[in-house]
Amino acid sequence: MNAIVECRGITKHYRQGAIDVPALRGVDLAIQAGDFASLAGPSGSGKTTLLNVIGGLDRPSAGSVKIDGAEITKLEASALADLRLHKIGFVFQAYNLIPVFSAVENVEFILQLLGQKPAERRARAKEVLHDVALDGLEDRRPARLSGGQQQRVAVARALASRPAIVLADEPTANLDTETAENLIDLMSHLNQSSGITFLMATHDARVIERTRRRILLTDGRIASDERIGEVAA
């Protein structure tokens, strides 16, 4: 089984005035290709910090992170940004869509950064919007989409570049129960049908119960790591 993410001895400290506050304390973690995993824990446990370190949005105080075999902790900013663009898809709690862009333009934007030709990126954007059941809504701007539809656009954008892994930070936090369950259904289907690797930081029991790997953080350390059944083929 190939490791998409390899964390070794990850520590992270923040300064709060004169106090050094530990957020992560020597985390070792490997995420395998095809994992559908939740990163759970109470507020302050370090789950968002760990997700940000894995995604290259934050640098650890010590330790190493590899994404798809590439060591990222010592990369210069430009090289790190390039790796994120090619290897990692992000889904944020607040959607982070560009308000003046339509759904298809939001998805295309990532592909434009990758240098794809207009016709190619439009075709790929429509393909992934179809995969997340947004046919017919491609030309709507975010303000004309429901919260659940906006989050589906965010998932489509994350998938557009065919990343090695999708990282999602509290993806259901702003959604009602039915919409959240539909989103979980969607991500689980994408994982099982296409083998897309997901790691989701969440406190939502609905998400945790549906994942097939459940990682629990407590006080910046991994308290438990349970695999339920088999990973996607």
DSSP annotation string for 61-73: SEEEEEETTEE-T
pTM attached to this predicted model: 0.91
Copy the structure tokens of residue 3.
């490791």
φ and ψ of 51, to 5 deg: -60, -40
Helix and strand element counts for the chain (H, E): 7, 10
Which candidate, 158, 148, 138, places its Cα nearest to that of 182?
Answer: 148
Q: Which 3 state secondary structure label does DSSP give 202?
A: coil
Q: Quick check: 112 and 121 in contact, CB under 8 A?
A: yes
- So what CATH class is 3-227? alpha beta
Distance, in Å, from the CA atom of 126 to the CA atom of 132, rounded to the nearest integer, reads 10
Give the pLDDT mean for 146-162: 92
Instruction: Tell me the Cα Rg of the chain.
Output: 17
Q: Which 3 state secondary structure label does DSSP give 60?
A: coil
Q: Cβ atoms within 10 A of the Cβ of 104, count? A: 21
Q: Tell me what pLDDT residue 232 has.
A: 45
pLDDT band at residue 16 using 50, 70 and 90 as cut-offs: confident
Cα atoms in the 13 Å half-sphere on the side-chain side of 153: 31
Which candidate, 58, 114, 112, places its Cα nearest to that of 86?
Answer: 114
List, for residues 27-44, the tens digit of each pLDDT value.
999 999 999 999 999 888
Q: Which residue has the tokens 């950064």?
A: 113
List, for residues 172-200, the tens digit of each pLDDT value.
888 888 888 888 998 899 999 888 999 99
Angle ∠(116,117,118) on CA atoms, nearest 5: 115
